[in-house]
Structure 1
C-alpha cells in the first residue's frame, strides 16, 4: 500500500470516528483492540503463565481484562478464569469468547461485579496486565488487586520497559504532545527501577520475582498500526484535545521509519512484570 493511500484511508477512518464516537470508546475501537492490538502482549501473558505454572489448580482474575485474551490463554491451560472490565464494549467482546467478566468499578469506588459473572470473591492469581500505564491512580488499582487475592496467592503487575528499549516510545509521545494542557499520563512512568515495586508498599503484598519480555508490535499495514495504537486508550486525552483525525495523521507520519518492505509495520518493545505474594 502506498503511503498516500494508507494515509487517506486512516484519516478517513479517524474522521468517521470523530463524528460517531465523541464521548469515548465505542464498538469499533473495542474491536480494533481485540482484533489488532491485544495479540501484541501474548509473549507477556505466556511468560507469566509459564513462570507461575498456571493450570487446573489456579484460579485467575484479570483486573482490567479488556477483551480477555490473557484469560482465554489461561483457560486453555485448565485454569478457572474470570475478569473485571469497566468498558462495556470490551466486556461484551470478552463474553462473546465465553468468558465470565463482570463490571469493574470506576476510579474512586470499589469493584462491583454481577455474581453470575464473577463467581469468587478472591483468587489465587490476580493479573494487572494492561491497566497500569494509563491509570490515573495506579496505587488504587494495586490495592484492589491485593484485596481480591487469596492469602498466599499472587498478583502480577505489568508495565512498559525502559523507553530506550522500546521503539514505540516515540510513537507514544504523540499522546503527550497532542494532549495540550489536559492530563495525559506518561506510559513510562512506572518503567524506572523500582517503579512497580513501590506500588506494593502498604498493600499486604511482597515482591516475589520479576522479569522482562520482548513484545514486538507488528501490524499488517499503516492503517492497522494506527487503529491498534488508538485502541489502547493511551491516546484518549490527545484525541479529546486535538481530534482523532489529527492524532491519526501524526501517528502515520511518525510510524514511517518502522515500515518494512511490503508495507508492514514493526516496532521492538520490552515489557516488565513484577510478581507479588499476598502475605497471610
Structure 2
C-alpha cells in the first residue's frame, strides 16, 4: 500500500450518537458497516504493496510458485503474484472481501473450519503461504501460523508480516486510538509482535525454520482526511474500539490525531516500517 488515491465508495460515516460508553447506544457491528470492504479495496489495501513486492522479489516468485494467501482480504497481493506467473489462491473470513476478490477472478475460499469446501482453493499444499495482514489483530497468531505450516509443502516457505518498531511508525499514535477507545475489551496491541523475536517465536512448534527477514518502508498515504479515516477503519484494528465506544466517536478521534500528518493541499501521509520473516517448512 504505497500511496492511496481514493476513489468513490458507498461508505458514509454514521451520525453522531448520544451514548458512546459501554452502556450507550452503539452503532451496528463494525464488520457490518456498509462499504467497509470497498473502503479496504479502494483505499487501504495498496499501502502494503512495497511489502508484497519485496517478499516476492526475494523469493523469486514466478511460474514455478504456488501461492496461498491466508487472510487475503480483497486479493491485491494475490493479483501481484499472479502477474508474475504464479498460481494463486486465498482464504478470507469476511464475505464481502471474498466477493471482491472473486470479482477479480481470484480463487478465494472461506477461512475457518470447513471453509474451503466450495472448491475455490484447488490445492492442499503450496510452495508459498503468506500471512501479510492478519497477525497484528489475530486472537491466536500461533494457531494461524500452524495453519500456514500445514498448508505448505516440504521445502516451501511461509511468510509472516507485522508492524515494525512503533518508534519507526508514524501510524503508532493513530493506532493508539484503537487501544484507548476499546475499554476493557480484548483489543490486541498491533505492535505486540514488533518486539525483537516476536515473529520468530511464532515458528516454534510449527515445523518451520527461520530462513530470513527484512524491513520495508510502507508509507500510508491518502488523498484527504476522510479517505484516511475510512481506510484505517477498514483494517479491522478498530473493531473493538468501534464496538465499545461507537464508530462515530472513533472516527472523530482519528480525525484529530491525524492532524499532524496533513500535508499542504489536504493529503495525509504517515511513514511506516513493516517487518517480515521467511520460514521454511522442514517437516
Pick closer, same or farther for the CA change 1:187–1:202 going to 2, 3 Å.
Answer: same
User: Which of 194, 216, 235 is the matching residue for 1:213?
Assistant: 216
Give the corresponding residue for 1:54. 61
TM-score (norm 2): 0.91
| Residues 1:225 and 2:228 aligned together | yes
Q: How far has the Cα of 1:183 moved from its partner?
A: 1.2
Provide the C-alpha distance between the structure 1 equivalents of 2:16 and 2:37, rounded to a whole number of angstroms: 12
Secondary structure of residue in 1 paired with 2:31: coil
Pairing 1:119-134 to 2, within 5 Å after superposition: 119-134=122-137
Q: Which of these residues, 86, 91, 107, is aligned with residue 79 of structure 1?
A: 86
Deviation per CA, 1:14-35: give whole Å up to 9, x if none: 2159899713323500000000
Structure with more helix by fraction: 1
**SS at the partner of 1:261?**
coil
Task: Tell me whether 54-63 or 20-29 shows the greater mean CA deviation.
Answer: 20-29
The aligned runs of 1:90-129 (5 Å cut-off) are: 90-105=97-112, 110=113, 112-129=115-132
Query: Per the alignment, in what secondary structure is the counterpart of residue 13 of structure 1?
Result: coil
- Listed one character per residue, the Cα deviations across residues 212-248 of structure 1 (whole Å, up to 9, x for unaligned) are 0000000000000000000000000000001111000
Among candidates 22, 32, 37, match of residue 30 of structure 1: 37
Q: Deviations over 1:86-116 (max 9, x none)?
A: 00010000000000000000xxxx4630352
Match of 1:180, SS? coil
* Shift, 1:156, TM fit: 0.0
Does 2:168 match 1:162? no
- State the partner residue of 1:6: none
Deviation at 1:83, TM superposition (A): 0.1
Indicate which of 198, 201, 205 corresponds to 1:202. Answer: 205
Q: Distance in 1 between matches of 2:183 and 2:216?
A: 32
For residues 237 and 41 of structure 1, what CA distance do their matches in structure 2 show? 23
Report the count of equivalent residues.
265
Q: Kindly tell me: are residues 91 and 21 of structure 1, through their superposed partners in 2, closer, same or farther at Cα, counting changes over 3 Å? A: farther
* Residue of structure 2 equivalent to 1:153: 156
Counterparts of 1:144 and 1:17, CA distance in 2: 41
**Residue by residue, what CA displacement relative to the aligned partner does 1:163-207 show, whole Å, maximum 9, x if unpaired?**
000000000000000001111100000000000000000000000
Q: How does 1:127-276 map to 2 (within 5 A)?
A: 127-276=130-279
Q: Which residue of 2 aligns with 1:8?
A: none
**RMSD over equivalenced CA pairs, Å:** 1.7
Q: TM-score, normalised by structure 1?
A: 0.92
Q: Distance in 1 between matches of 2:105 and 2:117?
A: 15
CA distance in 2, matches of 1:17, 1:149: 47
Q: Distance in 2 between matches of 1:257 and 1:137?
A: 34
User: Structure 2, unaligned stretches of length 5 or more?
Assistant: 1-10, 18-24
SS at match of 1:145: helix
CA distance in 1, matches of 2:158, 2:72: 14
